[in-house]
Amino acid sequence: MLNVVIFGAPGSGKGTQSKLIIKEFGLEHISTGDVLRTEMKNGTELGKIAKGYIEKGQLVPDELIIGMLAKVLDSIENKNGVIFDGFPRTIKQAEELKKMLNERKTDVKYAINLDVEEDELINRLLERGRLSGRSDDNLETIKNRLEVYHSQTAPVAGFYIKEGKHHTIKGVGTIEEIFERIKKKLCQTS
Ligand code: B4P
């Protein structure tokens, strides 16, 4: 199974590139951000709790995310593999993902880290906020999200470096150029 983790700072292009990877490789898509936004829209208990964290630019607590992910994983039948978009965001989530996949006789094959400088990230997110009105795409929340990224999510790279699965991809350029870089990596090493 081709299980791929795609990670990077907020606005690095995870969701954007995931869509292209899914199409090319026939994978299932799990975006924890999308799942949380659906829960928020439907006004569920989880959605109400998540809203408080997301609007402050903080991470939703690990226990909630891990429980949510286990349910989504069990509902998937695609045998080609899964792209994990925006998960794991902490070392604890990376450890739990490994456990969950091992229990299902599989594992992560590649961790793709999209590298984009901070000014570009802020510009992209402000632009998305302007167009979509997403409540966490405002300057104050974006700055908090970037801080949280550096303190809690960036260390996840070390987890996958140790496992020999980590690949940094330059995340600046056109969407198609970046996708070509990712595709080359996934084809080269598979
Ligand atoms: P996410 O939904 O994962 O949001 P994100 O980090 O902003 O990335 P996203 O995938 O949406 O954006 P992309 O880079 O593709 O998370 C939202 C929140 O949910 C988190 O802050 C957290 O609170 C919570 N959460 C989610 N998962 C969690 C977890 N595992 N644990 C705890 N909490 C969790 O694109 C950004 C913009 O850039 C788009 O407008 C796009 O069009 C543009 N863009 C993309 N590529 C471009 C390019 N090459 N050039 C120019 N623009 C580009």
**Ligand 1 atom at shortest distance from the alpha carbon of 131:** 40
pLDDT tens for residues 7-58? 999 999 999 999 999 999 999 999 999 999 999 999 999 999 999 999 999 9
Q: What is the CA radius of gyration of the chain?
A: 16
pTM: 0.93
Q: Tokens in use for 141?
A: 């929340």
Q: Which of 128, 181, 183, 185 does the annotation list as catalytic?
A: 128
Question: Is 128 noted as a catalytic residue in this protein?
Answer: yes
Cβ neighbours of residue 2 under 8 Å, at least 6 residues apart?
A: 25, 27, 80, 81, 109, 110, 186, 190
* Reported confidence tier of residue 77, pLDDT bands at 50, 70, 90: confident
Q: Which helix (H) or strand (E) holds 6?
A: strand 4-8
pLDDT of 189 over the 70 cut: no
Q: Is pLDDT larger for residue 7 or for residue 190?
A: 7
pLDDT in tens, 99-121: 999 998 999 999 999 999 999 99
Closest CA to 149 of 125, 132, 165: 125
Q: What pLDDT band is residue 79 in, cutting at 50, 70 and 90?
A: confident
For the question of residue 89 being annotated catalytic, the response is yes
Question: What domains can you pick out in the chain, each with its CATH number?
Answer: 4-183 (3.40.50.300)
Q: Which residue puts its alpha carbon closest to atom 12 of ligand 1?
A: 11
DSSP H or E segment with residue 28: strand 28-31
Per-residue confidence at 68, pLDDT binned at 50, 70, 90? very high
CA of 58 to the centre of ligand 1 (A): 13
Q: What is the pLDDT of residue 146?
A: 98
Selected catalytic residue, list 14, 51, 124, 165 = 14
SS3 for 62-120 is HHHHHHHHHHHHHCCCCCCCEEEECCCCCHHHHHHHHHHHHHCCCCCCEEEEEECCHHH
Q: Could you tell me which residues come within 8 angstroms of residue 150 by beta carbon, excluding any fewer than 6 positions away? A: none
Q: What is the pLDDT of residues 118-127, one digit of tens each?
A: 999 999 999 9
Note the residue count of the chain: 190
Tell me the pairing of strands 28-31 and 110-115: unpaired
pLDDT digits (tens, 9 = 90+) for 153-173: 999 999 999 999 999 999 999
